[in-house]
Structure 1
Amino acid sequence: MTKKILVMALLAIGSFANAQKGTILVGGNISYASEKTEFQFSEEKVNSFTFSPKVGYQFHDNWTVGGEFAVTSSTNDNGNVEEKLNGFKIGAFVRYSVPLNQTFSVFADMGVGAQNQKYKEYGPGNSFFKSKADGVYANVTPALFINMKKGFGLNFSIGGLGFETLSYDNNGADVSNFYFNFGQTFNIGISKNF
């Protein structure tokens, strides 16, 4: 009896994996965050929005390759100074996925590409400061996929690791940042294989 269940489970996993080969993957995340902090004499409001779609081709049962980009916009207003940051990323990704059964699979995305940020600061007395930076990024994000119906599903991730560089114009600083935020963030996205 146990052998029959094991064989049926292996066949189900194999049929789920083969159903994905040769398909187009479309997916991504949209996130919005708003935070208000009260201080003794002032308050600070931070709003941020990110849209990060990706499109790929699943050329093997477990492998997908494709392109990704992300657009980010955030504002920080503390009553005296208003900061605005707009960012853009474009790159490529490789995904390795392992189906656990017909409903669940785990995957890891590795993305690399170029990025650009524009920063503006508006201060008291109509003072104004702006800067621009260009750089590169690389990241690895493990995630869980839940198949809702016919290849359409939800993606859940709780962080990953990455590296990014930014070089600011007008003799500004060169910044390199390595981060490991596994367990510190939570993202939900959707994806569909066609």
Structure 2
Amino acid sequence: MKKLFLVIAFLSLGFISNAQTEKGKFLLGAGTSFSVGESNGYMSLGSSSSTIVLSDGTTIRTKNSSVNFAPKVGYFFIDNFAAGLDFAAFFSKGENDQIGNTSKNKTNQFAIGPFARYYFSGKKIKPFLEVNSLFGVRNQESEVGATTIGYKYSITNVGGGLGMAILIGERSALDILASYNSFTINENEDNPFSSKLNNIGIKVGFTIFLK
């Protein structure tokens, strides 16, 4: 009897872990990310400050803070495979003080794009592969004294990576994803400028599975 109970319990755990990513369910997620190396705007979180003293005694003080948020919604078209839309919002502000002259800057980015994720088998931890792309706008504003200058760009981000979903209960998971991103700021008519940045980072999120 005891052995039969253990077998039933084992099978039930397997069913629960597989049922979370079965065809017909919805995926709702939210998270943020951390960069390794130079930030591209979607891989930045936290605040920093620095003080530089030049040989002539000039002191340069810089402060920066930023936050990003990335919700997503998807649908399981077949078992273990979900596709849907990624959303991304990024906000930052900074201040630079040199010889009594203070300049301030603000940046915000908003983007949306498709994603696809495939889960591999697992009981408590389910590895997954994910690819995504984002398209949106970037607004920058610099304030020097009484003068304020604003810029607007179109942006593109293409990425993908390998992650793991740590299952929590029957309907949720903690996601940790090691990702690669190619981020491009595109030139426009008002300000002919273009820049491309590639980096790797860690994304951390929380996912809920709904019927």
CA contact (8 A) 2:156 2:185 kept: yes
Aligned partners of 1:44 and 1:78 also within 8 Å: yes
TM-score, length-scaled by structure 2: 0.76
Instruction: Name the amino acid aligned to 1:190.
Output: F
Structure whose alpha-carbon radius of gyration is higher? 2
Q: Give the structure-1-normalised TM-score.
A: 0.82
Note if 1:69 corresponds to 2:87: yes
CA distance in 1, matches of 2:184, 2:128: 22
Residue 171 of structure 1 and its aligned partner are, at CA, apart by 4.0
C-alpha deviation, 1:167, in angstroms: 2.3
Aligned to 1:3: none
Q: Is the 8 A contact 2:116 2:131 kept in 1?
A: yes
What is the aligned partner in structure 2 of residue 179 from structure 1?
198
- Partner of 1:42, secondary structure, is strand
Q: Give the direction of change, closer, same or farther, for the CA distance of 1:38–1:171 in structure 2 (3 Å limit).
A: closer
Q: Which amino acid aligns with 1:188?
A: V
Q: 2:83 & 2:176 partners in 1: Cα distance?
A: 19
Residue 5 of structure 1 is matched in structure 2 by none
| Cα distance, 1:162 vs structure 2 | 2.8
Match of 2:56 in 1: none
- Judge conservation of contact 1:156–1:189 (CA < 8 Å) in 2: yes
1:115 correspondence with 2:116: no
Residue among 12, 36, 40 paired with 2:49 = 36
Which letter does structure 2 place at the counterpart of 1:88? F
Q: Deviation at 1:43? A: 2.0
Distance 1:15 1:94, change over 3 A: same
Instruction: Give unmatched runs, 5+ long, in structure 1.
Output: 1-7
1:20-169 superposed matches below 5 A: 20-21=21-22, 22-30=24-32, 32-40=45-53, 41-79=59-97, 80-99=102-121, 101-123=122-144, 125-169=145-189
Once the two structures are TM-superposed, the CA of residue 106 in structure 1 deviates from its matched residue by 1.3
CA pair 9-169 structure 1, distance change in 2 beyond 3 A: farther
- Is this contact kept in 1: 2:50–2:61, CA < 8 A? yes
Counterpart amino acid of 2:202? F
Deviation at 1:149, TM superposition (A): 1.0
Identity of aligned residues (%): 21
- 2:50 counterpart letter in structure 1: T
Q: Is the aligned partner of 1:192 residue 2:211?
A: no
User: Would you identify which runs of 4 or more consecutive aligned residues in structure 1 move more than 3 Å?
Assistant: 8-15
* Matched-pair contact (CA < 8 Å) for 1:142–1:160: no
Q: Deviation at 1:10? A: 9.6
Deviations 1:137-163 (A, max 9, x none): 221132111001113121112332335
Provide the rounded CA distance (Å) in 2 between the counterparts of 1:77 and 1:12.
53
The letter for the 1-side match of 2:114 is A
